[in-house]
Amino acid sequence: MGNFTLPKRISFFETDTTLTDTLFLGAEALPALAELLRRPAVGQVWVLADANTARLCYPLLQPHLPPTHRLIEIPAGEEFKTLATCDTVWQQLTEQNTDRHAVLVNLGGGVVTDLGGFCAAVYKRGIRFIQVPTTLLAQVDASVGGKTGVDFLGFKNQLGVFQEPAAVCIDPQFLQTLDPRQLKAGYAEIVKHWLIADADAFQQNRSIGMFVEEWLPLIRESVLLKEQVVAQDPLESGLRKVLNYGHTVGHALESYLLLQPGREILHGEAVAAGMICEAWLSREKGLLSEQELDTIETFLFSVFEKVQFVTLETEAIAEFAYQDKKNVGSTINCTLLEGIGRAVYDQPVTPAEIAASLRYYHRL
């Protein structure tokens, strides 16, 4: 078992635009992308977008792309994050004789950045890809850290590889294309980062909630917190598991509802529910106080609507946790909280405990 806390609160200057050699944030992100694509070593340039980002975000990106680039458009939605969609991407790359000097620019939310990264990592044993995340969730979480993957047999991210992108270019202007529900879903991952590693930020921001005047500082802090964790454990063999707080129960809930037509929920909505369930499990195991549990659930319910399911479904939902990637054999490992701002990973839980946490959530 392990834990993680930030030794001190991170602060960043508003003028920072380059976070690492390959991660760009703010108004300079898209010009940086243009510069990268002008390099002599870059061959064909492809852009992967879904139906929504092709319509709303591609016009913002297009001026920064070489005129010879090609666009691949895929359907929008988690239900299309599959190998069948990958087939269409690989087919188009193959039909145009795309070689290993090509670059795939993934323009979209978590589905596009995950699937696009996976397609690039597998095509001809790997071509370079650049993430241009357009949702808040992708900007603070999904596009950063080198995880790629697709869903399989109804299980979230069942197939995938670790592959770092050539660059990540984060421009908050894309957030203006989002509806409030999508923006709120991304906010869940920001809250997760506070709960696992920054109690001060949680206390300072819980009175503000979604009434955020400027997203750039929050994006920057979340990205750098994740980068700090990933740098220490790129392949998720230990410390990186803290980033999965809320995801053991959340992924199980999301996967179950994805198979129920008309009941699908967004990833961030599932994570918000999962954080409440896993906070309750933390309290049950003596890691979290009753007052801290109340503070967490009160805040999350002030932002997120309750995910709907019935008590009789809780055991079936809990069974999905057997596919969680943190597990060892038949042991379900979960990330819990040892107080607000301090995460502990590799905490064994049973399906019965997960079902009990879902029943607790249902009663709230």
Residues forming the active site: 125, 147, 189, 226, 236, 240, 244, 247, 251, 267
Residue 274 and residue 359: Cα distance in Å, rounded? 12
Residue 175 and residue 182: Cα distance in Å, rounded? 9
First-to-last alpha carbon distance for the chain, in angstroms, is 30
Give the CA angle between residues 64, 216, 227 to the nearest 5°: 85
Q: Which two tokens stand for residue 314?
A: 């809780």
Residue 317 and residue 340: Cα distance in Å, rounded? 26
DSSP β-bridge partners for residue 162 = 147
Q: Which two tokens stand for residue 343?
A: 């995460």
State the burial class of residue 252 (Cβ atoms within 10 Å of its Cβ: 0-12, 13-18, 19+): buried
Contact 299, 241 (CB under 8 A): no
DSSP state for residue 139 in the 8-state scheme: I
DSSP state for residue 147 in the 8-state scheme: B
Q: Which two tokens stand for residue 21?
A: 């050699």
Residue 174 and residue 133: Cα distance in Å, rounded? 8
Kind of pairing, strands 103-108 and 45-50?
Answer: parallel
Contact 275, 188 (CB under 8 A): yes
Kind of pairing, strands 45-50 and 23-25?
Answer: unpaired
Residue 253 and residue 346: Cα distance in Å, rounded? 20
- The residue count of the chain comes to 364
DSSP β-bridge partners for residue 168 = 23, 131
Q: Which amino acid is at 316?
A: A
Using CA atoms, how far residue 261 sits from 79, 181, 249, 318, in Å, is 10, 19, 20, 19
